[in-house]
Structure 1
């Protein structure tokens, strides 16, 4: 058995397979010299609760299940986390209907202990946050997913893992994130949906300003816009990250503006889905570009939630690149996607084609789904 991709989902999958079958001969293949070097570590580090996702979707089911599994795993494996909670804040009256609908969605998804709270209750949780109402999600947490991935890899090594270069395998699972569409199409799968890389840049609060917030502060998502919006996120190391924004990356690993891969850039800008997305949301795209270039514009956006925030309170921070699957109509593919090519080869390959946020939160739950699907393919039954 081979798992291609040493990120958090690939490692979680390898771990789950070995738990179910300890004598299994399994290899994890990773192109980098270290594990979990891309989306697994370039993210906000939030343990999501499952509020946002369409009821009945894989995201909704696996996020709620995955969050519970993540907390259990961190307790058992002594991985540090903090259950600091989250508030989803409405700052204008026209957001109230969306806020209430989001609350109902959270209830449908089985998110525990969420509450609609007043402006006064919000102030007790986040004294520096301005809003007219909010959803309080107490079981949202933060963790260093790099440490989680490292712990998964240690579990795999404890099953007797070792280094080997020449490998033959009966079955292949690909968990390749930014390159998931390429490997899937090479095996005979449909070329769509294709991955388009979007870079998200963060700001970081200066240490003497980290007390501006206590937990995660999120906006009410606007369904007319393609991305969630900027938020305030405390980190396990004591930092507070603000962001991310969303702009087209010029390379699938384009963490800096100067990281340009001409071939990959041409693939992106000639993508029919991206062209349609940009046509639908050109104003949003221009605004994001301006905010990325001009710090005052980004601060102004954040001040809607924390008016005390000033430009001198922040420094530019790290960036991540999200593997965003787009359909040909220019819609973001929202749910998790697992795929196999047609014909007999489809019984030997499984691709994780789309696992955006909350992929890290859901990694243990996703691993269980993959392991059951493999058992079905190989043995004709689910487990």
Structure 2
């Protein structure tokens, strides 16, 4: 039976980051059930490098986002990943929303984000022309990147460390082995095969809960619920006045229908949020009026004839209400040494990916002492 030190399941951006990080000191195989890496949440998002403003101060999200942002900018420089620190304007349309911005400023400071500041009326009109806003905050460390090139760099790092990436390989089962490690059953080229690994990292994203149910000895109480939260984006054709990202005050399940730019300057809006029962990326062109009304609140000059439905992404929510946190769960939680499950890794997972990878490495090292 083939043996490997560490098997990572799921080649989204977090699985790639974890595999690349662990391959510095371990023999690593990364498996992916799809034909390509990053086919789901990792390639269906806003490609924003988040500053770490919104998340509760004692949360793993806040810590991993702030740490991950710094690591990600350094990584982009080192590996020449296309990126731009273009900044973000957070807007308020009324006094109540201005109060929310004030609380966000305090939240950001508590999270270690020390560069967020109030815009004067003149600065607001310069940074966010044509905007209907009575106040705004500016986040200079928010940026954008080419997420595909970032994932390619992580794959290159894994392979340069002699790790292996195997697509079209489905995780079928894992059984703890007497004396440590796991016997894992995988399906590749239509047939099952087994391998032995000392460490098993479940970075399945939208499939993490499904993977977890296939691990013998993992109690159901240690598998959180999974709720698919789909958000779609509309692109905006032609010229526009924006050079920075434009965000309204956040909503319960997301950051509102905000305006983002890609590296070519293309403007797009989204995502909205809808809980769905099945994993599908269907878009709904009839939502254009909802988008138009939401955008018009902060950009009255928006032309709805230039809005076109673009794409949708899905977040792996572990709860339908309130704030959820990243879950990095090892033996201290579930009792199976060498197993780490990653649950609820949604936004800002792209920004936080390198920090999450470090935390997995640290946790694994601590458990195996």
- Residue 201 of structure 1: aligned partner: 232
In terms of fraction of residues, the more helix-rich structure is 1
Task: Give the C-alpha shift of residue 64 in structure 1.
Answer: 0.7
Q: Quick check: 1:15 aligned with 2:15?
A: no
SS at match of 1:63: helix
Match of residue 281, structure 2, among 255, 263, 269: 255
- Mapped pair 1:355 → 2:345: yes
Q: TM-score, normalised by structure 1?
A: 0.83
Asked whether the 8 Å contact 1:184–1:341 carries over to 2, the reply is no
Structure 2 distance, partners of 1:294, 1:7, is 28
Instruction: Identify the residue that residue 106 of structure 2 maps to in structure 1.
Output: 104
Contact persistence 1:51–1:106 (CA under 8 A): yes
Deviations 1:163-199 (A, max 9, x none): 6665321110011111112222433142552111111
How far is 1:162 from its partner?
4.1
Q: Distance in 2 between matches of 1:312 and 1:58?
A: 41
Q: Please say if 1:237 is aligned against 2:242.
A: no
For 2:72 and 2:222, the matched residues in 1 are separated by 33
Give 1:341 shift. 6.2
1: distance between equivalents of 2:32 and 2:117? 42
Question: What is the alpha-carbon distance in structure 2 between the residues aligned to residue 132 and residue 125 of structure 1?
Answer: 13
1:20-39 alignment, distance < 5 Å: 21=25, 24-39=26-41
Aligned with 1:6 (options 4, 11, 25): 11
Aligned residue pairs total 335
Deviates more, 1:297-306 or 1:176-185: 176-185
Q: Is the 8 A contact 1:67 1:361 kept in 2?
A: yes
Partner residue, 1:216: 245
- Note the residue ranges of structure 2 that are not aligned, 5 or more in a row: 1-5, 167-187
Matches within 5 A, 1:371-382: 371-379=361-369
Q: CA deviation at 1:74?
A: 0.3
For residues 78-157 of structure 1, the aligned pairs below 5 Å read 78-157=80-159
- Tell me, in whole angstroms, the C-alpha distance in 1 between the residues paired with 2:295 and 2:207: 32
**Structure 1 contact 4–10 (Cα < 8 Å) conserved:** yes
Match of 1:11, SS state, is: helix
CA distance, structure 2, for counterparts of residue 112 and residue 13 of structure 1: 28
Q: Cα deviation per residue 1:45-88 (whole Å; 9 max; x = unaligned)? A: 00000010111211111111100000000000000001100011
Match of 1:182 in 2: 210
Post-superposition shift, 1:235? 0.7
Q: Aligned runs of 1:52-67 on 2, under 5 Å?
A: 52-67=54-69
TM-fit CA distance, 1:361: 0.1
The one of 294, 306, 314 aligned to 1:301: 294
Q: CA deviation at 1:332?
A: 4.2
Shift of 1:161: 3.3
Q: How far is 1:241 from its partner? A: 1.4
Displacement of 1:333: 4.9
Provide the TM-score with structure 2 as the length reference. 0.86
Range with greater deviation from structure 2 (358-367 or 184-193): 184-193
- Rate the CA distance shift 1:6–1:53 in 2: closer, same or farther, 3 A: same
Q: Deviations over 1:108-155 (max 9, x none)?
A: 111132101233321111112220001100110001212211110011
Distance 2:211 2:293 in 1: 41
SS of residue matched to 1:59 = helix
Decide which of 191, 195, 200 is 1:172's aligned counterpart.
200
CA RMSD of aligned residues (A): 2.0
Partner-residue secondary structure (3-state), 1:15: helix
- Per the TM alignment, residue 365 of structure 1 is displaced from its structure 2 partner at its CA by 0.5
Q: Give the strand-richer structure, 1 or 2.
A: 2
Contact 1:249 1:255 (8 Å CA) reproduced? no
1:235-286 deviation line (CA, Å, top 9, x unaligned): 123321101111123422x1016xxxxxxxxxxxxxxxxxxxxxxxxxxxxx
